[in-house]
Each structure stands twice: as structure tokens, then as C-alpha cells.
Structure 1
Amino acid sequence: MISEKVKKVKAEHPAIRIGKNGLTEGLVNEIKRQLKEHEVVKVKIGIKEQDRRELAKKVAESVNARLVEVRGYTFILMRNDSH
């Protein structure tokens, strides 16, 4: 069940970290790859970003995923299955 996957990912360390270089093409590709493999990915924002929710939305749009949750500097993305 999808909600079980979200619960599992919440308990884990972030799989992806957005660093000082911001949202690079390589990072977008890695998030896409992990979403394809795992369906749910936890991402950590490692820079001081004023509007973390907006950055999370931007990442979700870039990788065609659904933003499940933003908590502090961490957010969870779920793969969109509307291919």
C-alpha cells in the first residue's frame, strides 16, 4: 500500500540532499531515477532557503511527482502514475 511506503520513508534518512549548487540537472535525474525505483523519495534541503515549500513544489514539478509533505528542511515526493 502506498501509505505504508510513505510511513517507511518518513522513518528513514533522506535519500537525496539539495546542496549549495541547488537543483541541478543531475539532481533532477537522480530524483527521477529513485522515484522510478522506489515510488517515494525523501529529500533534504541542505541550504538555507527562505521558502522551503516553494522549492519543494519546484522540485516536484521538475520531476513530475506529487509533493506529499514538507516538514522543516525535509520533504517527501511520491511518483505520479499518470503516465
Structure 2
Amino acid sequence: MSNKTLSNADIKHLKGIGHHLNPVVIIGGNGLTDTVIEEIARALNDHELIKVKIPAGSKDEREAVAEQIAEATGSTLINSIGRVVLLLRENPEANPKLSNLVRFG
């Protein structure tokens, strides 16, 4: 599954996996800091598919934060519901014991 060629079936499958995940990073009051970006990037390396809880705000503000995260980490925004975003960045060398794509795929 390349980031550019996600079909509707791929997205539906990823959403199904994501449904069972808990957010691995929660962005606090300081917002999107370099440290938070690094932590999200590390989590993507380990797990490939992750949920991130973003700060409260208007729908437009939440969408902007989600897009900033995806751009800063080189990931694909799969889904966004309320304050939770689902991100994908495939790692061909991911640890099968940590990768949500391998464990739940």
C-alpha cells in the first residue's frame, strides 16, 4: 500500500484496524512542538498506523493541526473524527511485534 495509491477498500481496512487502537500521542496545551513531532514520527516508525489526540478547537483548527502533523512526519492522514486522527506511514523494516499493520492487518 503506497501512500499515493490508497483505494477506498484500503482506507476502509485501515479505519477498521484503527478502530481498535488507542491514541499513542496526546498533544497537550503547548501544541505541536518539535518534541511532539519527533514522538509521533517515532511512533509511526514503530507502529506504522497510529492514533493521535489533538487539542480542542474548531473543526478547521483541528483539520489544520492534523494536516501539519501529516506533513511534518511524512505520513498520510487516513481519518479524523473529533479530536482523534489516524495516521499511516509504512515502514518496510518495521518490527512485526510492534506494527499495527502486521498485528491487525
What RMSD in Å do the two structures reach over aligned CA positions?
2.1
**Equivalent residues in 2 for 1:19-58 (5 A)?**
19-45=28-54, 47-50=55-58, 51-58=61-68
**Residue 64 of structure 1 contacts residue 80 of structure 1 at CA under 8 Å; is this kept in 2?**
no
| Structure 2 gap segments, 5+ residues each | 2-9, 92-105
Larger Rg: 2
- What whole-Å deviation, never above 9, does each CA across 1:32-64 have from its counterpart, x for those lacking one? 11111111110011x322221111001100111
Give the structure with the larger helix fraction. 2
Query: TM-score, normalised on structure 1?
Result: 0.82
Aligned residues: 80
**Which consecutive aligned stretches of 4+ in structure 1 deviate over 3 angstroms post-superposition?**
1-6
The percent identity for this pair of structures is 32
